[in-house]
Amino acid sequence: MVEARLLNASLRPREETMRLFQLAYICRVYGGLTGFDKDYQTFLDKTAGRLDFRDPVHMDALLTWLRKWGCRQFAKNYHNLASESILGWADLWESSLPDASIALASLSDQDIQEVGQAYARLSKCLASKRARNGNLDDVHVGPSGAAKILFAARPLAFPPWDDPFRAKSGYDDSGRSYCDYLVRVREQINQLCSEAARLGIAAQDISTEVGRPKSTLAKLVDEYNWVMVTRGFLPPEPVEIAKWHHWSSPS
């Protein structure tokens, strides 16, 4: 059972500022130096951008994409097992997720707490079996797998979440930590939208303005965190950008 404190927790965002120029720089690095876009686009093409847990073609596309995005627990020989387990979760919990048109910035703390329960249950689903000491042990979806499945199902509302970022940022595998992370990302998105509004940029145009038109705001923050925290690649300071701008001016 999900711990009661998950239901009653007072969620607080971490004080952390993300500037629009930093996001633009980091997301350009992400798009140029990773191969993740191609695999994700293949998944979107096969699901028409709307994951249906009850469609075998969609489930195969989901599990293939997850494996290519580093979730090795979804062994190809056990796709049927994983599909049945995740479908069983979806039958019970998908209705608790927000509508696909709802963005993370619109979710209340209570909404996020309910998602935390769905996440915790999903992370316990079976992904495959692994031979060990003459036995076949259960391999579970786990925290990263659960977060990426939720992202696949509701890309406007939920960002992916990888193991190195979670460890480096002081999170654990629990539903409570996932809720804390969603609150943190929600705050980062709100900061971005506020800065963009001051610059005359509408929230729905941020992805296009930073050169990542196919990424949702939740995904942009994940890209930023992946480059900044997981890979330790920092954006330049404003003084450096000013210097580059000066260099680029016609003589």
Write the pLDDT tens digit of every residue in 61-84.
999 999 999 999 999 999 999 999
With respect to residue 186, please indicate whether it lies within any of the assigned structural domains: yes
What pLDDT is attached to residue 12? Answer: 40
Q: Is residue 248 part of a domain?
A: no
Examine residue 189 and state whether it is found in any structural domain, yes or no: yes
Residue 67 covered by a domain? yes
Instruction: Evaluate whether residue 251 is within a structural domain.
Output: no
Of 20-34, 40-54, 129-143, where does the model show the most confidence? 40-54
172, pLDDT greater than 80: yes
pLDDT for position 131:
83
Burial of 134 per CB tally in 10 Å (0-12, 13-18, 19+): exposed
Distance CA 23, CA 161 (A): 18
| Cβ atoms of 151 and 219 closer than 8 Å | yes
Question: What is the domain range of residue 157?
Answer: 4-242
Q: Is residue 194 part of a domain?
A: yes
Question: What average pLDDT score do residues 119-143 get?
Answer: 92
Is the confidence at residue 169, as pLDDT, over 90?
A: no
pLDDT recorded at residue 251: 67
Per-residue pLDDT tens for 181-233? 999 999 999 999 999 999 999 999 999 999 999 999 999 999 999 998 888 88
pLDDT in tens, 84-94: 999 999 999 99
**Structural domain count, the chain:** 1
pLDDT given at position 31: 86
Q: Residue 210 contacts by C-beta under 8 Å, 6 or more apart in sequence?
A: 20, 23, 24, 27, 28, 220
Lowest-confidence segment of 19-28, 77-86, 144-153, 242-251 by average pLDDT: 242-251
pLDDT tier, 16 (very low <50, low <70, confident <90, very high otherwise): low
Global pTM exceeds 0.85: yes
223 in any annotated domain: yes
CB atoms within 10 A of CB 86: 23
Q: What percentage of the chain has pLDDT greater than the value 70? A: 93
Residue 13 covered by a domain: yes
Residue 52 has pLDDT above 60, yes or no: yes
